[in-house]
Amino acid sequence: MSDLPVTGEVSNSKLAAVFASRDAARDAASAIVAELGLQPAQVKIVGPESADVDIQLEPEGGGIWRTIVVAHVRLGIAGAVAGLLAFGALFWVGVPFVVQSPWAAGLAATGFGATAGLLLGGLVSLRPDHDRYIEATRDAISDGRTTLVVHALSAEQSARSAAYLAQRGADVTRTL
């Protein structure tokens, strides 16, 4: 992860590994904890008989609200800085409107940059990468199959887990 993440969740990388049976998913869960060193709390088994599927898929309800705030603040500020940099470059090059009206041009560039950053913060908050992960689990449940959900703490841990579970015959869907 980066030094300044734009989300407020502990586990940004999640994956759903769909197995034909609950026993296969249970065996894979035990193996992934033992062989890859994941904590048991990072691994959930979700099947047709499971209660609270939404909580097992997205257990960090408070993290989602932190993501909304953090993403908007950090990306809004980054956008404003990018707008200021664009203004500086346009002023340095000597674009007539910018040179003749530096305050208006500076405010416009900063405002547009901040707006773009806030829009990007909204996109991050929506977490569109989670749709495929959630839909894969819901489809498996409706088909009577079982999903092993992994809440990885890093992209590297997610990639290792996905490769390991795919080798065990799972249909794996990951978030970014």
pLDDT per residue as tens digits for the range 99-125 = 999 999 999 999 999 999 999 999 888
**C-alpha angle with apex 141: 139 to 144, nearest 5 degrees?**
110
In percent, the amount of the chain with pLDDT more than 90 equals: 28
Local confidence band at 2 (pLDDT 50, 70, 90 cut-offs): very low
Write out pLDDT tens, residues 121-131: 998 887 776 77
Query: For position 136, what pLDDT does the model report?
Result: 81
Chain position carrying tokens 């909204």: 122
Query: For position 151, what pLDDT does the model report?
Result: 85
Query: For position 72, what pLDDT does the model report?
Result: 93
Give the tokens for residue 164.
């390991």
Burial zone of 109 (CB within 10 Å; 0-12 exposed, 13-18 middle, 19+ buried): buried
Dist CA 15 CA 160 (whole Å): 11
Mean pLDDT, the chain, whole residue set: 83
Local confidence band at 134 (pLDDT 50, 70, 90 cut-offs): confident
pTM exceeds 0.75, yes or no: no
More reliable by pLDDT, 2 or 160: 160
Max mean pLDDT among 45-59, 86-100, 116-130 falls in: 86-100
Residue 28 predicted with pLDDT over 60: yes
Dist CA 157 CA 159 (whole Å): 6
Query: For position 43, what pLDDT does the model report?
Result: 87
Q: Which fold has domain 13-48+144-174?
A: Alpha-Beta Plaits (3.30.70)
CB 141 within 8 A of CB 53: yes
